[in-house]
Amino acid sequence: MVFSAVSVNAAVVFLLILAAVVLFATEFVPPDVTAIVVIVALVVLQPWTGVETTTAFSGFSNVATITVAAMYMLSEGIHRTGIVRRLGDAISGFAAGSEERLRWTTLSLSGGLAGVVNNTPIVAVFIPMVLDLADEYRISPSKLLMPVSFAAMLGGTLTLVGTSANLLASSFSDRLLGHPFSMFEFTHLGLLGLIVGVVYLATVGQRLLPERVRPTVDLLGEFNLKGHITRLYVRDESPLVGSSIREGLDDVFGVSDGDVLEVVRYDGRHAVPDPEFELESGDVVTVRGDPESIRAAASNLDLWYLPWVHIDQIGPELSAGIGTLVEARITEASSLVGERVGGVDFRQSFEATLLGIQRGETTVTSGFSDIVLEAGDVVLLRSSGRHVAALRENPALSVTTVATEGFLDRTSTTETYREDKQWLAVAIVAGVVGVAALGFVSIGISALAGVVAMIAGGALETDEAYDAVAWDVIFLLAGMIPLGIALERSGGAALVADLIVTVADVLPAVAMIALFYIVTAVVTNLISNNATIVLFIPVAVDVATQLGANAFSFVLAVTFAASTSFLTPVGYQTNLMVYGPGGYEFTDYLRLGGPLQLVLAGVTTFGIWLFWGV
């Protein structure tokens, strides 16, 4: 009767898990909404799930949830001091423009550091740095962030303090076998797994992982236009004040070919302004043309020639963007084929300004009025965001790339850093890690204390701390934690363990180690790694004793598997931390992590057999 009751309860929870997985995979509703649905369902089905209201909300007070939120805040504090930029510059300098070298460096560094520092703050620090590097190297951050999370998890298996699961497993090993882990007890096995994992993530994994976030596109660089785009500030004394663009800027362009791309003033941006657009004092006019001619005219017309930075010294804080850039190819059937550029009114026909033309390996950025357009020519247009859809639908053009609010270079940001707080931020993060590693308080408490210290020390503002938290991730994690509790209370997790025991007499010891690894690795994606340790290490020791096998080898298999939550974003906090910035979908983790999980099952089993025997 007891087994029957437990089976019914477990069946209900398994069905709920299946429904949640389907919703996560299809994203019929946002993942955080699915997590909220799970909370409600657990309470409604309390007779079978064993989860009452208090337990359902326990995920919001769980140490993992608090830790993730605090790590977001600490990461923001590190970012605000400019440390991430300096680290990113060092990595970029070492990579020397090589995307492949960048990938190997970030993965190796995140994995190596996670061996001596808890992997959660490592990922927290790496997220903003990776985003900056992805922008600099024009690659999708989706290609880097999840691999960094996985590498950090693997780095956590290098030493005793790499992750809290190792410390918990050591206490169980001490209690059950009288064999606690030393600091470097399994470093050689962890290093083997890290090397294999980094090689996979840097090679095969790159082909499996999609670009969910599009890389930054430097269309200006591709068309060699960076030297031909100029910004001019209209001063109060300028004779252009009150003049239309048609009247006022003829003197600016003179005999050189040029055009006005945008006018920025206090009320916003005016993309592709009409020739009759009237200029006002304080306007920032972005023009295309010969830079020397424009610079000379600007001096005569009381116009300031501006660098590509914020204009915070001279007016409202408006970014130095040039608006939306559109790259398009002229098709065979295009009405533009055979037309002279000077005879095409791009403003009237396309609500856009022509910036450049590419034909084969030749790029023309000025003096193209007499060029006759041909099929296959690539044109670079400047337009406003609301006109991009119309350009896509225009049969005369085939849009190939859109770069929204393009910038000339990375220096066009005005973000200021609190560089005088860098050493304070470093000391705070070191203190957070050190206090937690020594066991004085949990990582969640030390992280919160670190946030308080950041704010009190001036490295982080309160509103910046709250804004840094990805609240959808917090709700997602808080909703999945009580589901793991339901799996335990309903007897579902114990049922999985019982099924393993039933095949113990059939499989050899080494195969049982592999089986424990695989089952533990799957379950740790549904419940926390610590809960998985608590559940499976006693079972593993019992099975090893029945088989007359090396019980310590079984303990190691469970310990390592519990730290490889590669199949879902909710399996471990670092996966959740990169979920939003990487723009990932739920199934992306299975796509990248599934093959890695199988490879590591074989590698870890082989390593345990080689180093400790079975």
Sheet of 378-383: strands edge to edge?
Answer: 362-364, 352-359, 378-383, 324-330, 397-403
Give the residue, 232 or 409, on which the prediction is more confident. Answer: 232
List CB contacts of 317: < 8 A, sequence separation 6 or more: 310, 311, 414
Q: What is the DSSP string of 331-373?
A: -TT-TTTT-BGGG--HHHHHSEEEEEEEETTEEE-SS-TTPBP
3-state secondary structure 119-164: HHHHHHHHHHHHHHHHHHHCCCCHHHHHHHHHHHHHHCCCCCCCCH
CB 81 within 8 A of CB 128: no
Q: How many residues does the chain have?
A: 614
Percentage of the chain with pLDDT > 90?
14
In angstroms, rounded to a whole number, what is the distance separating the alpha carbons of residues 65 and 433?
17
pLDDT band at 266 (very low <50, low <70, confident <90, very high): low
In angstroms, rounded to a whole number, what is the distance separating the alpha carbons of residues 318 and 547?
71
Question: What pLDDT does residue 274 have?
Answer: 75
In angstroms, rounded to a whole number, what is the distance separating the alpha carbons of residues 180 and 178?
6
List CB contacts of 270: < 8 A, sequence separation 6 or more: 262, 263, 264, 277
Place of tokens 């006109």: 387
Question: What pLDDT does residue 315 have?
Answer: 36
Residue 317 has pLDDT above 60, yes or no: no
Q: Does domain 236-301 have CATH number 3.30.70.1450?
A: yes
Give the residue, 217 or 244, on which the prediction is more confident. Answer: 244
Nearest Cα neighbor of 465 from 112, 19, 80 is: 80
Nearest Cα neighbor of 555 from 571, 530, 538 is: 538
Residue ranges of the chain assigned to CATH 3.30.70.1450: 236-301, 324-404
Q: Where is average pLDDT lowest: 182-196, 220-234, 429-443?
A: 220-234
Structure tokens at 517: 């690894």
How does pLDDT run across 430-455, given as a tens digit for each residue? 888 788 767 787 777 888 999 999 99
Question: What pLDDT does residue 602 have?
Answer: 94
How does pLDDT run across 72-81, given as a tens digit for each residue? 788 788 778 8
Q: Is the pTM above the cut of 0.75?
A: no
How does pLDDT run across 104-163, given as a tens digit for each residue? 989 998 888 877 666 777 787 788 778 878 877 778 888 999 999 999 999 988 877 667
Average pLDDT over residues 164-193: 82
Correct CATH for 324-404 of 3.30.470.10, 3.30.2450.30, 3.20.20.70, 3.30.70.1450: 3.30.70.1450
Residue 220 has pLDDT above 70, yes or no: no
Supply the DSSP symbol for 576: H
Question: What pLDDT does residue 548 have?
Answer: 82
Q: Using CA of residue 152, residue 190, residue 593, residue 552, what is the dihedral sign?
A: negative
